[in-house]
Amino acid sequence: MNTTDKIYIAGHRGMVGSAIQRNLEAAGYHNIITRTSRELDLRDQSLVNSFFQEERPDYVFLAAAKVGGILANNTYRGEFLYDNLMIEANIIEAARVFGVTKLMFLGSSCIYPKLAPQPLTEDALLTGPLEPTNEPYAIAKITGIKLCDAYRHQYGCDFISVMPTNLYGPNDNYDLKTSHVLPALIRKFHEAKVNNEKEVVMWGTGLPKREFLHADDLADACVFLMENFSDYGFVNVGTGVDLAIIDLARTIKEVVGYKGEITHDLTKPDGTPRKLMNVDKLHAMGWKHKIDLREGIEKVYAALEAESWF
Protein backbone atom coordinates (compact mmCIF):
# COMPACT_ATOMS: atom_id res chain seq x y z
CA MET A 1 0.00 0.00 0.00
CA ASN A 2 1.04 3.58 -0.69
CA THR A 3 0.10 6.33 1.72
CA THR A 4 -2.01 7.95 -1.01
CA ASP A 5 -4.04 4.82 -1.80
CA LYS A 6 -7.74 5.00 -0.96
CA ILE A 7 -8.42 2.59 1.91
CA TYR A 8 -11.91 1.62 3.07
CA ILE A 9 -12.26 0.32 6.63
CA ALA A 10 -15.60 -1.43 7.06
CA GLY A 11 -16.48 -1.33 10.75
CA HIS A 12 -14.24 1.62 11.66
CA ARG A 13 -16.13 2.35 14.89
CA GLY A 14 -15.61 -1.12 16.28
CA MET A 15 -12.65 -2.25 18.33
CA VAL A 16 -10.81 -3.82 15.37
CA GLY A 17 -11.66 -1.26 12.71
CA SER A 18 -10.78 1.70 14.93
CA ALA A 19 -7.45 0.08 15.81
CA ILE A 20 -6.65 -0.42 12.12
CA GLN A 21 -7.53 3.21 11.45
CA ARG A 22 -5.26 4.41 14.28
CA ASN A 23 -2.42 2.26 12.97
CA LEU A 24 -2.75 3.48 9.39
CA GLU A 25 -3.05 7.14 10.36
CA ALA A 26 0.02 6.87 12.59
CA ALA A 27 1.92 5.44 9.60
CA GLY A 28 0.95 8.37 7.38
CA TYR A 29 -2.00 6.95 5.45
CA HIS A 30 -4.36 9.87 4.90
CA ASN A 31 -6.83 8.67 2.25
CA ILE A 32 -9.03 6.56 4.52
CA ILE A 33 -12.76 6.35 3.88
CA THR A 34 -15.37 5.21 6.39
CA ARG A 35 -19.12 5.01 6.82
CA THR A 36 -21.15 4.44 9.97
CA SER A 37 -23.87 1.78 9.97
CA ARG A 38 -26.43 4.59 9.84
CA GLU A 39 -24.78 6.06 6.78
CA LEU A 40 -24.40 2.70 5.02
CA ASP A 41 -26.29 -0.50 5.85
CA LEU A 42 -23.81 -3.15 4.77
CA ARG A 43 -26.58 -5.76 4.69
CA ASP A 44 -28.12 -3.94 1.69
CA GLN A 45 -26.39 -4.99 -1.53
CA SER A 46 -27.64 -2.07 -3.62
CA LEU A 47 -26.38 0.47 -1.09
CA VAL A 48 -23.00 -1.27 -0.85
CA ASN A 49 -22.64 -1.37 -4.63
CA SER A 50 -23.48 2.33 -4.91
CA PHE A 51 -20.90 3.15 -2.27
CA PHE A 52 -18.14 1.16 -4.02
CA GLN A 53 -19.08 2.60 -7.40
CA GLU A 54 -18.80 6.13 -6.02
CA GLU A 55 -15.69 5.75 -3.86
CA ARG A 56 -13.65 3.11 -5.76
CA PRO A 57 -11.38 2.11 -2.86
CA ASP A 58 -8.00 0.52 -3.63
CA TYR A 59 -7.80 -1.52 -0.42
CA VAL A 60 -10.47 -2.85 1.92
CA PHE A 61 -10.23 -4.01 5.53
CA LEU A 62 -13.45 -5.94 6.19
CA ALA A 63 -13.76 -5.62 9.96
CA ALA A 64 -17.51 -5.00 10.10
CA ALA A 65 -19.53 -7.72 11.81
CA LYS A 66 -22.30 -8.40 14.28
CA VAL A 67 -20.40 -9.64 17.34
CA GLY A 68 -20.99 -10.68 20.94
CA GLY A 69 -20.21 -13.16 23.69
CA ILE A 70 -21.78 -16.52 24.55
CA LEU A 71 -25.14 -15.04 25.61
CA ALA A 72 -25.56 -12.85 22.54
CA ASN A 73 -24.37 -15.56 20.13
CA ASN A 74 -26.73 -18.15 21.58
CA THR A 75 -29.72 -15.80 21.86
CA TYR A 76 -29.64 -14.03 18.50
CA ARG A 77 -28.63 -17.00 16.37
CA GLY A 78 -30.58 -15.99 13.28
CA GLU A 79 -29.33 -12.41 13.36
CA PHE A 80 -25.72 -13.46 13.83
CA LEU A 81 -25.86 -15.78 10.83
CA TYR A 82 -27.89 -13.57 8.48
CA ASP A 83 -26.29 -10.21 9.25
CA ASN A 84 -22.73 -11.49 8.99
CA LEU A 85 -23.42 -13.42 5.79
CA MET A 86 -24.93 -10.36 4.16
CA ILE A 87 -22.18 -7.97 5.28
CA GLU A 88 -19.31 -10.10 4.01
CA ALA A 89 -20.99 -11.26 0.81
CA ASN A 90 -21.98 -7.74 -0.22
CA ILE A 91 -18.55 -6.22 0.44
CA ILE A 92 -16.55 -9.05 -1.13
CA GLU A 93 -18.73 -9.06 -4.26
CA ALA A 94 -18.58 -5.26 -4.57
CA ALA A 95 -14.80 -5.38 -4.15
CA ARG A 96 -14.64 -7.80 -7.08
CA VAL A 97 -17.03 -5.86 -9.30
CA PHE A 98 -15.39 -2.49 -8.71
CA GLY A 99 -11.78 -3.61 -8.98
CA VAL A 100 -10.42 -3.39 -5.44
CA THR A 101 -6.67 -4.12 -5.50
CA LYS A 102 -6.71 -6.13 -2.28
CA LEU A 103 -9.21 -7.03 0.44
CA MET A 104 -8.67 -8.44 3.91
CA PHE A 105 -11.47 -10.37 5.60
CA LEU A 106 -11.30 -10.63 9.39
CA GLY A 107 -12.75 -13.74 10.97
CA SER A 108 -12.61 -15.24 14.44
CA SER A 109 -11.03 -18.15 16.27
CA CYS A 110 -14.52 -19.60 16.81
CA ILE A 111 -14.32 -21.00 13.26
CA TYR A 112 -12.40 -23.99 14.64
CA PRO A 113 -14.04 -27.24 15.80
CA LYS A 114 -14.92 -27.28 19.49
CA LEU A 115 -12.53 -30.15 20.24
CA ALA A 116 -9.82 -29.44 17.68
CA PRO A 117 -6.28 -30.30 18.82
CA GLN A 118 -4.53 -27.47 20.64
CA PRO A 119 -2.94 -25.19 19.72
CA LEU A 120 -5.20 -24.54 16.74
CA THR A 121 -3.46 -24.80 13.38
CA GLU A 122 -4.94 -23.34 10.21
CA ASP A 123 -5.46 -26.81 8.69
CA ALA A 124 -7.86 -27.80 11.51
CA LEU A 125 -10.68 -25.87 9.83
CA LEU A 126 -13.77 -28.04 9.09
CA THR A 127 -12.32 -31.14 10.74
CA GLY A 128 -15.07 -31.49 13.37
CA PRO A 129 -18.26 -30.04 14.93
CA LEU A 130 -18.32 -26.42 16.05
CA GLU A 131 -19.07 -25.09 19.54
CA PRO A 132 -22.92 -25.07 19.55
CA THR A 133 -23.34 -21.74 21.35
CA ASN A 134 -21.66 -19.71 18.60
CA GLU A 135 -22.16 -22.00 15.60
CA PRO A 136 -24.13 -19.45 13.48
CA TYR A 137 -21.42 -16.80 13.84
CA ALA A 138 -18.71 -19.36 13.12
CA ILE A 139 -20.50 -20.60 9.99
CA ALA A 140 -20.75 -17.05 8.70
CA LYS A 141 -17.03 -16.47 9.24
CA ILE A 142 -16.09 -19.77 7.60
CA THR A 143 -18.20 -18.72 4.63
CA GLY A 144 -16.24 -15.46 4.39
CA ILE A 145 -12.95 -17.36 4.25
CA LYS A 146 -14.27 -19.68 1.56
CA LEU A 147 -15.73 -16.79 -0.41
CA CYS A 148 -12.34 -15.07 -0.52
CA ASP A 149 -10.71 -18.33 -1.64
CA ALA A 150 -13.39 -18.92 -4.29
CA TYR A 151 -12.97 -15.41 -5.68
CA ARG A 152 -9.20 -15.86 -5.77
CA HIS A 153 -9.70 -19.11 -7.69
CA GLN A 154 -12.40 -18.00 -10.14
CA TYR A 155 -11.64 -14.31 -10.62
CA GLY A 156 -8.00 -13.91 -9.55
CA CYS A 157 -8.95 -11.51 -6.77
CA ASP A 158 -6.25 -10.79 -4.18
CA PHE A 159 -8.60 -11.34 -1.24
CA ILE A 160 -7.06 -12.68 1.98
CA SER A 161 -8.35 -13.76 5.39
CA VAL A 162 -6.98 -13.44 8.91
CA MET A 163 -8.29 -15.12 12.05
CA PRO A 164 -7.72 -13.18 15.27
CA THR A 165 -7.82 -14.76 18.69
CA ASN A 166 -9.90 -13.20 21.51
CA LEU A 167 -9.42 -9.44 21.45
CA TYR A 168 -9.61 -6.55 23.89
CA GLY A 169 -8.70 -2.88 23.81
CA PRO A 170 -10.10 0.61 23.12
CA ASN A 171 -13.73 0.72 21.89
CA ASP A 172 -14.51 -2.69 23.37
CA ASN A 173 -18.08 -3.60 24.33
CA TYR A 174 -18.83 -3.48 28.08
CA ASP A 175 -22.54 -4.33 27.93
CA LEU A 176 -22.87 -7.38 30.19
CA LYS A 177 -25.61 -8.81 27.94
CA THR A 178 -23.49 -8.86 24.79
CA SER A 179 -19.83 -8.48 25.79
CA HIS A 180 -16.97 -10.95 25.71
CA VAL A 181 -15.40 -12.28 28.88
CA LEU A 182 -12.50 -9.85 29.39
CA PRO A 183 -14.45 -6.57 29.17
CA ALA A 184 -17.33 -8.14 31.10
CA LEU A 185 -14.96 -9.01 33.96
CA ILE A 186 -13.45 -5.52 33.94
CA ARG A 187 -16.91 -4.01 34.35
CA LYS A 188 -17.98 -6.53 37.00
CA PHE A 189 -14.89 -5.98 39.14
CA HIS A 190 -15.02 -2.20 38.76
CA GLU A 191 -18.69 -2.01 39.75
CA ALA A 192 -18.12 -4.39 42.65
CA LYS A 193 -15.28 -2.16 43.87
CA VAL A 194 -17.32 1.03 43.58
CA ASN A 195 -20.35 -0.53 45.29
CA ASN A 196 -18.32 -2.32 47.98
CA GLU A 197 -19.78 -5.68 47.00
CA LYS A 198 -18.48 -8.77 48.77
CA GLU A 199 -18.25 -10.99 45.69
CA VAL A 200 -18.04 -11.06 41.92
CA VAL A 201 -19.89 -13.95 40.29
CA MET A 202 -18.24 -15.58 37.28
CA TRP A 203 -19.98 -17.73 34.72
CA GLY A 204 -19.01 -21.40 34.85
CA THR A 205 -15.99 -23.01 36.45
CA GLY A 206 -13.33 -20.61 35.24
CA LEU A 207 -11.27 -23.56 34.02
CA PRO A 208 -11.52 -23.06 30.23
CA LYS A 209 -8.39 -21.49 28.79
CA ARG A 210 -8.32 -18.52 26.47
CA GLU A 211 -5.76 -16.44 24.58
CA PHE A 212 -6.07 -12.65 24.43
CA LEU A 213 -4.58 -10.15 21.99
CA HIS A 214 -4.67 -6.36 22.27
CA ALA A 215 -6.53 -4.74 19.36
CA ASP A 216 -3.53 -2.53 18.59
CA ASP A 217 -1.39 -5.62 18.12
CA LEU A 218 -4.02 -7.09 15.81
CA ALA A 219 -4.12 -3.88 13.77
CA ASP A 220 -0.36 -3.97 13.39
CA ALA A 221 -0.55 -7.59 12.22
CA CYS A 222 -3.34 -6.74 9.75
CA VAL A 223 -1.34 -3.97 8.10
CA PHE A 224 1.71 -6.26 8.04
CA LEU A 225 -0.28 -9.07 6.38
CA MET A 226 -1.94 -6.73 3.89
CA GLU A 227 1.56 -5.94 2.66
CA ASN A 228 3.15 -9.38 3.01
CA PHE A 229 0.53 -12.12 2.51
CA SER A 230 -1.33 -13.11 -0.67
CA ASP A 231 -2.60 -16.68 -0.76
CA TYR A 232 -5.47 -19.06 -0.24
CA GLY A 233 -6.52 -19.97 3.28
CA PHE A 234 -5.92 -17.68 6.20
CA VAL A 235 -3.43 -16.70 8.89
CA ASN A 236 -3.98 -17.06 12.63
CA VAL A 237 -3.23 -13.89 14.59
CA GLY A 238 -2.58 -14.26 18.29
CA THR A 239 0.03 -14.42 21.01
CA GLY A 240 0.47 -18.20 21.17
CA VAL A 241 -0.05 -18.00 24.96
CA ASP A 242 -3.25 -18.73 26.91
CA LEU A 243 -4.47 -18.80 30.52
CA ALA A 244 -7.46 -20.08 32.48
CA ILE A 245 -10.40 -17.69 32.79
CA ILE A 246 -10.07 -17.80 36.58
CA ASP A 247 -6.48 -16.58 36.23
CA LEU A 248 -7.67 -13.82 33.90
CA ALA A 249 -10.23 -12.86 36.54
CA ARG A 250 -7.57 -12.73 39.25
CA THR A 251 -5.38 -10.51 37.07
CA ILE A 252 -8.25 -8.12 36.37
CA LYS A 253 -9.19 -8.12 40.06
CA GLU A 254 -5.65 -6.99 40.91
CA VAL A 255 -5.54 -4.32 38.18
CA VAL A 256 -8.93 -2.91 39.23
CA GLY A 257 -8.05 -3.06 42.93
CA TYR A 258 -11.08 -5.07 44.02
CA LYS A 259 -10.72 -6.71 47.46
CA GLY A 260 -13.71 -9.08 47.56
CA GLU A 261 -14.13 -12.72 46.58
CA ILE A 262 -14.61 -14.47 43.24
CA THR A 263 -17.48 -16.99 43.16
CA HIS A 264 -18.89 -19.17 40.38
CA ASP A 265 -22.35 -19.64 38.84
CA LEU A 266 -22.10 -23.27 37.75
CA THR A 267 -25.50 -23.14 36.05
CA LYS A 268 -23.90 -21.05 33.28
CA PRO A 269 -21.95 -22.62 30.39
CA ASP A 270 -18.17 -22.68 30.10
CA GLY A 271 -18.10 -22.70 26.32
CA THR A 272 -15.20 -24.23 24.41
CA PRO A 273 -12.69 -25.87 26.81
CA ARG A 274 -9.66 -24.25 25.20
CA LYS A 275 -8.87 -21.94 22.29
CA LEU A 276 -5.19 -21.33 21.71
CA MET A 277 -3.91 -20.26 18.32
CA ASN A 278 -0.87 -21.78 16.68
CA VAL A 279 0.87 -18.69 15.30
CA ASP A 280 3.89 -20.39 13.73
CA LYS A 281 2.78 -19.28 10.25
CA LEU A 282 2.64 -15.63 11.31
CA HIS A 283 5.87 -15.79 13.30
CA ALA A 284 7.64 -17.31 10.28
CA MET A 285 6.67 -14.22 8.29
CA GLY A 286 8.38 -12.03 10.87
CA TRP A 287 5.57 -10.64 13.03
CA LYS A 288 5.05 -11.09 16.80
CA HIS A 289 2.81 -9.32 19.30
CA LYS A 290 4.26 -6.56 21.49
CA ILE A 291 1.71 -5.90 24.27
CA ASP A 292 1.77 -8.20 27.31
CA LEU A 293 -1.69 -9.16 28.67
CA ARG A 294 -1.37 -7.52 32.07
CA GLU A 295 0.15 -4.40 30.51
CA GLY A 296 -2.72 -4.27 28.03
CA ILE A 297 -5.38 -4.65 30.74
CA GLU A 298 -3.71 -1.90 32.78
CA LYS A 299 -3.78 0.44 29.75
CA VAL A 300 -7.42 -0.34 29.01
CA TYR A 301 -8.55 0.19 32.60
CA ALA A 302 -6.53 3.37 33.03
CA ALA A 303 -8.11 4.80 29.87
CA LEU A 304 -11.60 3.89 31.05
CA GLU A 305 -11.02 5.59 34.41
CA ALA A 306 -9.50 8.66 32.74
CA GLU A 307 -12.56 8.98 30.51
CA SER A 308 -14.90 8.40 33.49
CA TRP A 309 -16.54 5.83 31.24
CA PHE A 310 -18.05 3.76 34.04
Instruction: Outline where the chain has alpha helix (H).
Output: 15-26, 45-55, 70-75, 77-97, 135-155, 181-194, 215-228, 245-256, 280-285, 293-306
Nearest by Cα to 22 from 12, 35, 7? 12
Is 67 known to sit in a ligand binding site? no
Please give the model's pTM, rounded to 2 decimal places.
0.93
Q: Are 94 and 49 in contact (CB under 8 A)?
A: yes
Can you tell me the mean pLDDT for 209-213?
A: 95
Q: What is the pLDDT of residue 177?
A: 78
Can you tell me the mean pLDDT for 66-86?
A: 89
Query: 55 falls in which pLDDT band (50, 70, 90)?
Result: very high
Is 16 known to sit in a ligand binding site? yes
| 137 belongs to the catalytic site | yes
Q: What is the pLDDT of residue 310?
A: 62
Using alpha carbons, list the distances in angstroms from residue 71 to 5, 111, 182, 270, 293: 40, 17, 14, 11, 24
Percent of the chain with pLDDT over 90: 86
Is 164 known to sit in a ligand binding site? yes
- Summarize pLDDT for 87-142 with one digit per residue, the tens: 999 999 999 999 999 999 999 988 999 889 999 999 999 999 998 988 999 999 99
Nearest by Cα to 144 from 174, 103, 193? 103
Query: 73 falls in which pLDDT band (50, 70, 90)?
Result: confident
What residue spans define the domains of the chain?
7-171+212-240+276-291
Nearest by Cα to 106 from 241, 9, 212? 9
Is 166 known to sit in a ligand binding site? yes
Is 11 known to sit in a ligand binding site? yes
More confident residue, 246 or 308: 246
Query: 175 falls in which pLDDT band (50, 70, 90)?
Result: confident
C-alpha span between 160 and 105 (Å, rounded): 6
Collect all residues with Cβ–Cβ distance below 8 Å to 63 and sequence separation of at least 6.
9, 10, 11, 12, 14, 16, 17, 20, 106
Nearest by Cα to 223 from 14, 36, 13, 16? 16
Can you tell me the mean pLDDT for 169-189?
A: 89
Q: Which CATH superfamily is domain 7-171+212-240+276-291 in?
A: NAD(P)-binding Rossmann-like Domain (3.40.50.720)
Catalytic residue among 137, 151, 258, 301: 137
Query: 67 falls in which pLDDT band (50, 70, 90)?
Result: confident
C-alpha span between 172 and 65 (Å, rounded): 14
Q: What is the pLDDT of residue 173?
A: 87
Burial of 25 (0-12, 13-18, 19+ CB in 10 A): exposed
Is 37 known to sit in a ligand binding site? no
